[in-house]
Structure 1
């Protein structure tokens, strides 16, 4: 039987976790960044596609470059965060499948179908971004996912050397200041959006 997480662990990852708008003056180390990635990469993706491409924006110069791509309401969140991750994806992820999924010719499933690859990369990289947030929270860090930014401008600014990479969404990570969170928005009861058939 698989072990289960304690209530305190579930609180840390889900029930008490919040989206932060401000941060304590404490950085996120290279070691912590690597720990997050080492956990998130273990989350399942279809045929182990691993299409997520991550840019960890931490220097002042890189933060300003990313803030210049963001909506007004998100600029200060990016500039004030210890690190903000650009969660992107590789449309040509299938080129990596011979070593990522070696027991069959999975690369051939996606050749000649760029639209199909975009859909699959978008879906599976979003999963990886969710794993990133769970991993960060499990390691005692806080998160602030956000969309409000120009995806094309961000793609050009941070993925210009990789023409098949696309920026999708952002997630700031650090030690959150609880005075900056809003009241929790409603969460629907099971019967609102679920049915068991």
Structure 2
């Protein structure tokens, strides 16, 4: 039987974790990025769809390319981050379902065909976004900080980075590193349970 995590872990994951837009310059290694993936892939998705696809922009060249498609306020945030990940989703994820959902009888059929394209896109977005949340929590669990962003031209990013994978579509981008606590905003208010919850 599982026990609640200690307060220190809950603080690191939630209560004291912040969105960081600026970092202290320490390197993030390839093995750390692989460790994020190895944690986030364990989070649940519908039918084990696992539609998330990630491009890790580590080099100055890759970050400059990505920054070229960002809104003005995000350009320097991308360039100065140790790593900036493009969190994308594969709208043809169903092609991999025989591998990832072997417990099901012909799982690919549930999403195959042109008439099911809209359902594929909806499911890829929903489950890919879930995996994006797991990405952030995995990075925090490994002692890293994140700065998720949505201020960029999705179509331009897709054309630049996914020309060879046209079914991959960008969802959001997320900088990863060791956050600079001197450059973080005060925490904004959060609602109480009573504000937005109903018990029926």
Give the TM-score of the pair, scaled to structure 2: 0.97
**Is 1:120 aligned to residue 85 of structure 2?**
no
Q: C-alpha offsets along residues 8-50 of structure 1, whole Å, 9 cap, x if unaligned?
A: 0000010000011211111110110011000000000000000
- 1:4 to partner: Cα distance: 2.0
- Who is 1:3 aligned against? 3
SS of the aligned residue for 1:148 comes to coil
CA distance in 1, matches of 2:197, 2:163: 42
Contact 2:21 2:175 (8 Å CA) reproduced? no
- 1:192 to partner: Cα distance: 1.0
CA distance in 1, matches of 2:11, 2:103: 39
- Who is 2:112 aligned against? 111
- Who is 1:157 aligned against? 160
- Who is 1:60 aligned against? 60
Q: Give RMSD over aligned pairs.
A: 0.7
CA distance in 2, matches of 1:103, 1:148: 39
- Who is 1:132 aligned against? 135
- Who is 1:15 aligned against? 15
- Who is 1:96 aligned against? 96
Superposition misfits of 4+ residues, deviation over 4 angstroms = none
Aligned residue runs from structure 1 range 21-36, under 5 A:
21-36=21-36
CA distance in 2, matches of 1:75, 1:55: 17
Contact 2:145 2:179 (8 Å CA) reproduced? yes
- Who is 2:197 aligned against? 194
- 1:3 to partner: Cα distance: 2.4
Q: C-alpha offsets along residues 67-105 of structure 1, whole Å, 9 cap, x if unaligned?
A: 001000000000000001101001100000001001221
SS of the aligned residue for 2:170 comes to strand
CA distance in 2, matches of 1:44, 1:80: 32
Contact 2:53 2:87 (8 Å CA) reproduced? yes
Give the TM-score of the pair, scaled to structure 1: 0.99
User: Structure 1 regions of 5+ residues with no counterpart?
Assistant: none
CA distance in 1, matches of 2:29, 2:80: 16
CA distance in 1, matches of 2:160, 2:199: 45
